[in-house]
């Protein structure tokens, strides 16, 4: 079992390019697993963790409802935003500048084979990261992601999550609103959930937050929760 993860910060990058890159990594891992089974080999499968900051984009999960996008194609262009229907779980969400997007491309057979546990640990990573800023966040039953003030009229989502898994290899991941322009969420029904607001770390703290600092905290908690042996940031993909 390989519990080392290659870390790659892609910086600002187009959504479709990143989606294709994730797919290539996932395919390569699956090819190794198929070869191992076919030829009775024991080649190690790699794991990856991608950080990225996307230009304005709306993405709709495979079971999502397109009517949750509230603007048309021309309005998308006017807002300098793009739209993709993609192969993750979940409904519609927004990605944009000031948001930390994390894509773990893991062979879960290196860790544990439990998708429910995987999602709960991803949520725990974000919950513990936010706690370092004095922000108390939690899960909302039946609604994947990380929320504030659950069960009150002020419930608001700060981190969306949606994944895909094939042969226990994951792709897609989480999107944490740090210094995000929340106005872009007005153009959708976020995650298909009506009547719930969204927020950001900046909005909660009333100040800009250093993205690199948040990324570092996320990695620390990810390493603890997933019992990662080592992040290999020096490896170039």
**For this structure, is 191 an active site residue?**
yes
18 is in an annotated binding site: no
Which residues pair with residue 8 across a beta bridge?
50
175 is in an annotated binding site: yes
185 is in an annotated binding site: no
| Rounded distance between C-alpha atoms, residue 56 and residue 101, angstroms | 13
CB neighbour class for 203 (10 Å; exposed up to 12, middle 13-18, buried from 19) = middle
Structure tokens at 25: 């990594």
Q: How many CB atoms lie within 10 A of CB 74?
A: 8
144 is in an annotated binding site: no
161 is in an annotated binding site: yes
The active-site residue, picked from 191, 201, 218, 219, is 191
163 is in an annotated binding site: no
| Cβ within 8 Å of residue 72, ≥6 positions away | none
93 is in an annotated binding site: yes
Binding site, annotated residues for substrate: 88-95, 160-162, 173-175
Binding site, annotated residues: 88-95, 160-162, 173-175
Residues marked active site are found at: 191
């Amino acid at each position: 079992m390989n519990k080392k993860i290659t870390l790659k910060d892609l910086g600002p990058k187009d959504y479709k390019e990143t989606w294709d890159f994730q797919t290539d990594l996932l395919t390569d891992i699956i090819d190794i697993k198929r070869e191992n089974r076919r030829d009775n080999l024991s080649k190690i499968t790699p794991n990856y963790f991608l950080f990225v900051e996307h230009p304005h984009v709306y993405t709709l999960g495979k079971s999502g409802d397109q009517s949750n996008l509230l603007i048309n194609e021309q309005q998308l262009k006017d807002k300098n935003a793009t739209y993709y229907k993609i192969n993750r779980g979940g409904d519609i969400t927004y990605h944009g500048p000031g948001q930390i997007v994390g894509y773990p491309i893991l062979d879960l057979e290196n860790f544990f084979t439990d998708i429910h546990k995987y999602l709960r640990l991803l949520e725990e990573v974000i919950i513990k990261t936010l706690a370092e800023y004095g922000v108390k966040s939690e899960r909302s039953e039946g609604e994947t992601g990380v929320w504030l003030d659950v069960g009150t009229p002020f419930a608001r989502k700060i981190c969306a999550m949606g994944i895909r898994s094939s042969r226990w290899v994951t792709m897609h991941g989480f999107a944490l609103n740090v210094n995000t322009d929340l106005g872009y969420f007005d153009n959708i029904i976020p995650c298909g959930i009506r009547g719930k607001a969204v927020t950001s770390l900046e909005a909660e703290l009333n100040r800009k937050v250093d993205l690199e600092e948040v990324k570092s905290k996320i990695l620390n908690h990810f390493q603890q929760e997933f019992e990662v042996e080592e992040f290999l940031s020096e490896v170039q993909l």
